[in-house]
Amino acid sequence: MILAVCLKRVPDSNARPTIGPDGKSINPGIEYVINPYDEFAIEEALRLKEKAGAGEVVGICVDPDGNESMLRKALGMGVDRGILLKGGSPFDGAVNAEILAGVLKPLGAKIIFFGKQAIDSDSCQVPTLVAERLNLPRANVVVKLELQGDKVICRRQIEGAEEVVEMPTPCVVSAQKGLNEPRYPSMKGIMAAKKKPIDAKAAPAAEPRIEILNMEAPPARPAGRIVGKGKDAVPELVRLLREEAKVL
């Protein structure tokens, strides 16, 4: 049983990105991490393999810098081998999906795991675009998963509820927080990871679907003010909300 996990290298959620000289991307020099949702994906694949007592977990990363550090971390968690494709785009999900689908097609994975969203592009589209390219069923934003032979039964989070979804394998699953508690790589895992293989190559050219015109800082919030201290300030706050802000 082969299980694939797609993971993206993204700026740490604590980072404060600044706009680069091209006006379309951010300046380098910030801290990067494995996309947090992809850690749930990695953990779920590892657990399925452990439960089955056999199989291989393959991590795949498309990165414009060809940086292997996130794959190395995944190998430290227990992923068996990595495929690194130098190329892709931080924001064009269709480009990344095309590249990923090209690698995934011959791999023959039973389940292809993704995070539900990359915290840089915030686009929630790569898992579904890959599924469609490979003609596979999908379930996104999954918080619970069970593999029963050639069938996956999972729960996907929706507004105030969960959908119970059933689909045949091979299939695509994108992970939401709550699916599991990702493990930390052990010392032994980190040592072992140094010897695990990463197949690094250039990503094939893919067709851009979107054009980035420019990047902008978020609209500045008008300066706020402290209305007062303690409960004495409450009537004035309520008055401002009604008469000045007019939100009530």
Rule CB under 6 A: which residues touch ligand AMP?
6-8, 35, 37-38, 60-62, 88, 93, 96, 100, 114-115, 117-118, 121, 123-127
Q: Are 113 and 140 in contact (CB under 8 A)?
A: no
- What is the contact mask toward another protein in residues 58 to 97, using x (rule: CB under 8 A)? ---------------------------------xxxx---
In the bound complex, which residue of the shown chain has the CB atom lying closest to ligand FAD? 13
Residues in the interface with ligand FAD (CB under 6 A) total 2
Smallest separation, CB 178 to another protein (Å):
5
Q: What is the DSSP letter of 19?
A: B
Q: Hey, what amino acid is at 97?
A: A
Q: Which of residues 209-238 bind another protein (CB under 8 A)?
A: 209-218, 221-222, 224-231, 233-235, 237-238
Nearer to ligand AMP, 35 or 169 (CB): 35
Q: Are 71 and 40 in contact (CB under 8 A)?
A: no
Distance CA 175, CA 143 (A): 7
Binding segment for another protein (CB under 8 A), chosen from 55-63, 65-73, 164-172, 184-192, is 164-172
End-to-end CA distance of the chain: 57
- Contact with another protein (CB under 8 A) among 32, 120, 182, 206: 120
Q: Which single residue is written with the structure tokens 């994906």?
A: 41
The partner in contact with residue 51, picked from another protein, ligand AMP, ligand FAD, none with C-beta cut-offs of 5 to 8 angstroms by kind, is none
The partner in contact with residue 234, picked from ligand AMP, another protein, ligand FAD, none with C-beta cut-offs of 5 to 8 angstroms by kind, is another protein
The secondary structure element, H or E, covering residue 148 is strand 138-148
Residue 57: closest CA among 109, 101, 96: 109
13 is a site residue for ligand FAD (CB under 6 A): yes
Residue 242 phi, psi (nearest 5): -85, -45
The partner in contact with residue 8, picked from ligand FAD, ligand AMP, another protein, none with C-beta cut-offs of 5 to 8 angstroms by kind, is ligand AMP
- Contact with ligand FAD (CB under 6 A) among 2, 24, 26, 36: 36
In the bound complex, which residue of the shown chain has the CB atom lying closest to ligand AMP? 115
Spatial neighbors of 120 by CB under 8 A, at least 6 apart, are 8, 10, 11, 35, 90, 91
Smallest separation, CB 35 to ligand FAD (Å):
10
Distance CA 172, CA 105 (A): 12
Nearer to ligand FAD, 36 or 64 (CB): 36
Q: For residue 141, is it left (φ>0), alpha (ψ between -120 and 50) or beta?
A: left
